[in-house]
Structures are given as structure tokens and as C-alpha cells.
């Protein structure tokens, strides 16, 4: 299982920071930002191989389930 920030959003923010730095904004003047959206990815195949059973409610809440 993985619960992390959405990578496309993180990459967009990194590119915005790079753009501002290239426009001569001091890195120390840039605000620290936190991700606003997260995703839950579950590898059901690995869970089965480890002998774990995952509740159906958890699988339904996941953004992605790897079979």
C-alpha cells in the first residue's frame, strides 16, 4: 500500500518553483507548500502472496488497485 501526494501535482509545483527561480526570485523568498491531494494505491497481488486479506471497503476507496 502507498498513500502519497499525486505526482503530477508535485511535478507542476516543482516546475513553478524552477520558473520563479529562473526569473530571479530568491529561493528563500518562495513559500513552503504542502500537497493538497493524495492517492491511495494498493497492490492486491502482493497482499495475497503475503497471506493478507484486504477488506472490500478499503479496495473500493483506493485510487488504484494493482491486480
Count other C-beta atoms under 10 Å from residue 20's C-beta: 14
What pLDDT digit, counting tens, does each position of 47-61 carry? 999 999 999 999 999
Which pLDDT band, with edges at 50, 70 and 90, does 66 fall under?
A: very high
What pLDDT digit, counting tens, does each position of 12-48 carry? 999 999 999 999 999 899 999 888 899 999 999 999 9
Distance between CA atoms of 53 and 45, rounded to whole angstroms?
A: 10
Close Cβ partners of 62 (under 8 Å, ≥ 6 residues apart)? 40, 41, 42
Model pLDDT, residue 36: 87
Amino acid at each position: 500500500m502507498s498513500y502519497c501526494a499525486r505526482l503530477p501535482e508535485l511535478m507542476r509545483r516543482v516546475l513553478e518553483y524552477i520558473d520563479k527561480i529562473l526569473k530571479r526570485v530568491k529561493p528563500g523568498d518562495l513559500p513552503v507548500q504542502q500537497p493538497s491531494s493524495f492517492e491511495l494505491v494498493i497492490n492486491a497481488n502482493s497482499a495475497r502472496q503475503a497471506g493478507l486479506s484486504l477488506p472490500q471497503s478499503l479496495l473500493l476507496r483506493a485510487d488504484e488497485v494493482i491486480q
